């Protein structure tokens, strides 16, 4: 079977989803980092009235001349507007954000005024007509679409939604992602470890990736290398109505690699298997009804790298993020010489240093896919394309930031 290039595999995976998750309406206070399910219009105009951008005096622009004197007839503060009108030769003391009184069209800032606080003021530096005035609707008008469907609700978006008058928002339901570790050799952390066993770690790493992307991880535990146990765990994922089933390990071709067979028996239609990448070659995907199945390698580093390349975009696509398949790499400079590459795209754990020329990425000398310690120290993955020629220290490269 030919190896599938990473971009082709990722696009096929994202194209295989049945569509975004259903919308749900939440209180604004519950919407941080959620994804909008529909376009959101402003329910009000902002600002709803003309107001001052500075502390000073609301005046008529036609009265502004150096040395002119004005009679102060009142005060306008935020939440407490001046009710009268400004006539020729008059001014109203005004503060930032306060409504502009009728008849005034300009703000004379207090720094350019003599006699601040007295009944009569003198213009020292006349402002241009309309200066320091915020017009009604300067920011937005009622009915404006300001937040599009698929927008991640970060702090700026949430603040805008509140200013638009929305107490609730329609967001995509978090995709439910079941995570199933497989293998007789695995033991949960804290349990006695036999001579031929290791501590299961991949589930925790993938759960963190799922949460980071906006999904809701569901831990299915560990399935033994047994058809019945695997079948029961897969049935459990289906019963929980999960959107994605991630299996860890058992997707290769060894005598004890039973995951692909178990999924096929359960009704999975295989999408692709074996990726032209290192680490992560044995990765597999398919569809099991409406559930997307993703079989990740058992090696810890392989599964986490595949998580960054495939699971994060998959969850974003399920949330309706429009550019889920975007190129997430950024340019950098190689910090060491690199040999020529073969047919598999390499993702090399690397240290980063910021220099005047940009990021310098230095791959670690050992890249074994079992070494989580190296991954925990890595700040980026340096990408070496398939069939890349030898590269020298200082040559350009591309990296994926990890942290």
Q: What is the pLDDT of residue 252?
A: 60
Residue 113 to residue 324: CA distance in whole angstroms: 55
pLDDT along the chain (403 residues), means of 10: 89 93 98 97 97 97 97 96 97 97 97 95 97 97 98 97 98 98 92 90 96 96 94 96 93 68 93 92 93 94 96 97 93 97 96 95 92 94 97 97 93
Domain 51-134 has CATH 2.170.190.11: yes
Specify the CATH superfamily of domain 6-21+173-318.
MoaB/Mog-like domain (3.40.980.10)
Q: Which two tokens stand for residue 387?
A: 């069939």
Residue 216 to residue 93: CA distance in whole angstroms: 54
In DSSP terms, 380 is beta-bridged to 350, 401
Q: Which two tokens stand for residue 235?
A: 């049935």
Q: Are strands 330-334 and 269-273 parallel, antiparallel or unpaired?
A: unpaired
* Count of alpha carbons within 13 angstroms of residue 14, beta-carbon side: 22
Residue 130: other Cβ atoms inside 10 A: 11
Q: What is the pLDDT of residue 123?
A: 97
Residue 137: other Cβ atoms inside 10 A: 16
Element (H, E) at 219: strand 216-223
Element (H, E) at 184: none
* Count of alpha carbons within 13 angstroms of residue 265, beta-carbon side: 12
Q: What is the pLDDT of residue 256?
A: 52
Quick check: 355 and 393 in contact, CB under 8 A?
Answer: no
Q: What is the pLDDT of residue 194?
A: 87
Separation in Å, CA 372 to CA 90, 239, 246, 302, 341: 74, 33, 20, 10, 23
Q: Which residues contact 15 (CB under 8 A, 6 or more apart)?
A: none
Q: Is 334 helix (H, G, I), strand (E, B) or coil?
A: strand
Quick check: 72 and 121 in contact, CB under 8 A?
Answer: yes
Q: Is 355 helix (H, G, I), strand (E, B) or coil?
A: strand
Residue 344 to residue 5: CA distance in whole angstroms: 8
Quick check: 22 and 173 in contact, CB under 8 A?
Answer: yes
* Count of alpha carbons within 13 angstroms of residue 306, beta-carbon side: 33
Domain 330-401 has CATH 2.40.340.10: yes
In DSSP terms, 360 is beta-bridged to 333, 353
Residue 340 to residue 222: CA distance in whole angstroms: 39
> What residue segments make up the domains of the chain, in order of their start?
6-21+173-318, 26-44+142-172, 51-134, 330-401
Q: What is the pLDDT of residue 391?
A: 98
Quick check: 399 and 330 in contact, CB under 8 A?
Answer: yes
Residue 201 to residue 369: CA distance in whole angstroms: 13
276 closest CA partner among 330, 345, 222: 345
Q: Which two tokens stand for residue 119?
A: 């009944």
Q: Which two tokens stand for residue 366?
A: 């050992």
Q: What is the pLDDT of residue 124?
A: 97
Q: Is 161 helix (H, G, I), strand (E, B) or coil?
A: helix
Fold of the domain built from segment(s) 26-44+142-172: Molybdopterin biosynthesis moea protein, domain 2 (3.90.105)
Q: Residues, the chain, total?
A: 403
The whole-model pTM stands at: 0.87
Q: Where are the beta strands (DSSP E) in 104-215?
A: 106-109, 113-114, 120-123, 133-134, 145-147, 168-172, 176-182, 186-187, 198-199
Rg from Cα positions in the chain: 31
180 closest CA partner among 247, 243, 226: 247
């Amino acid at each position: 079977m030919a190896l599938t290039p990473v971009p082709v595999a990722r696009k096929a995976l994202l194209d295989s989803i049945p569509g975004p998750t259903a919308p749900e309406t939440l209180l604004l206070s519950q919407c941080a980092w959620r994804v909008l399910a529909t376009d959101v219009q402003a329910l009000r105009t902002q600002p709803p009235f003309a107001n001052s951008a500075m502390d000073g005096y609301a005046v008529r622009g036609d009265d502004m001349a150096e040395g002119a004197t004005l009679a102060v007839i009142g005060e306008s503060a935020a939440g407490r507007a001046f009710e009268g009108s400004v006539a020729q030769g008059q001014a109203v003391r005004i503060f930032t954000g306060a409504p502009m009184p009728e008849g005034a069209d300009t703000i004379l800032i207090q720094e350019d005024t003599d006699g601040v606080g007295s009944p009569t003021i003198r213009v020292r530096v006349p402002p241009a007509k309309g200066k320091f005035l915020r017009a009604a609707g300067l920011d937005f008008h009622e009915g404006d679409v300001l937040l599009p469907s698929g927008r991640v609700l970060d702090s700026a978006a949430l603040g805008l939604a509140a200013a638009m008058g929305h107490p609730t928002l329609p967001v995509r339901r978090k995709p439910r992602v079941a995570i199933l570790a497989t293998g007789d050799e695995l033991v949960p952390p804290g349990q006695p470890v036999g001579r031929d066993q290791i501590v299961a770690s991949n589930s925790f790493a993938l759960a963190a990736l799922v949460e980071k992307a906006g999904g809701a991880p569901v831990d299915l535990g560990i399935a033994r290398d047994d058809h019945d146990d695997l079948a029961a765990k897969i049935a459990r994922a289906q019963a929980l109505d999960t959107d994605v089933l991630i299996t860890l390990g058992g997707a290769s071709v060894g005598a004890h690699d039973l995951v692909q067979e178990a999924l096929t028996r359960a009704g999975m239609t295989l999408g692709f298997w074996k990726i032209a990448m290192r680490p992560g070659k044995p990765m597999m995907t398919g569809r099991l009804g409406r559930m997307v199945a993703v079989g990740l390698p058992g090696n810890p580093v392989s599964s986490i790298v595949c998580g960054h390349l495939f699971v994060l975009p998959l969850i974003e696509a399920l949330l309706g993020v429009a550019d889920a398949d975007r190129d997430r790499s950024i340019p950098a400079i190689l910090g060491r010489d690199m040999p020529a590459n073969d047919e598999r795209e390499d993702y090399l754990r690397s240290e980063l240093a910021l220099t005047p020329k940009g990021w310098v990425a230095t791959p670690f000398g050992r890249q074994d896919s079992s070494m989580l310690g190296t991954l925990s120290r890595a700040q980026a993955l340096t990408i070496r394309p398939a069939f890349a020629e030898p590269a020298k220290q200082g040559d350009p490269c591309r990296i994926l930031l990890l942290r």
